[in-house]
Chains A and B, each alone.
Chain A
Amino acid sequence: MSDVVTLRYDVIPGDFIKAGEASSDVKKKLMDIGISPDVIRKTAIAMYEGEINMVIHSLGGYAEISIYPNEITILLVDNGPGIDNVEQAMSAGFTTAPDDIRELGFGAGMGFPNMKKYTDEMIVESQPGIGTRVMMKVNI
Chain B
Amino acid sequence: MTIRDVMDALGARLITGEEWLEREVHVACGSDMMSDVLAFLKDQSVLLTGLCNPQVIRTAEMMDIICIVFVRGKYPDETIIEMAKERGIVLLASGHRMFSACGKLYEKGLRGGAPYR
Chain A contact residue count (CB 8 A cutoff): 27
Determine whether the beta carbon of B64 is less than 8 Å from that of A37: yes
Determine whether the beta carbon of B55 is less than 8 Å from that of A16: yes
Determine whether A137 belongs to the interface, using a CB cutoff of 8 Å to chain B.
no
- Chain B nearest CB, measured from A35 CB (Å): 14
Determine whether the beta carbon of A105 is less than 8 Å from that of B32: yes
Contact of A41 among B51, B56, B63 (CB under 8 A): B63
Chain B contact residue count (CB 8 A cutoff): 20
Determine whether A140 belongs to the interface, using a CB cutoff of 8 Å to chain B.
no
A interface, by DSSP: helix, strand, loop or mixed?
helix
Determine whether the beta carbon of A27 is less than 8 Å from that of B58: no
A: residues with CB less than 8 A from B are 16-17, 19-20, 23-24, 27, 37, 41, 44-45, 48-49, 52, 102, 104-111, 113-114, 117-118
Given A24-B61, A105-B49, list of 20 further CB < 8 A pairs?
A: A19-B55, A23-B62, A24-B62, A27-B61, A27-B62, A37-B64, A41-B62, A41-B64, A44-B61, A48-B58, A102-B33, A104-B51, A104-B55, A105-B56, A108-B35, A110-B33, A113-B39, A114-B35, A117-B39, A118-B41
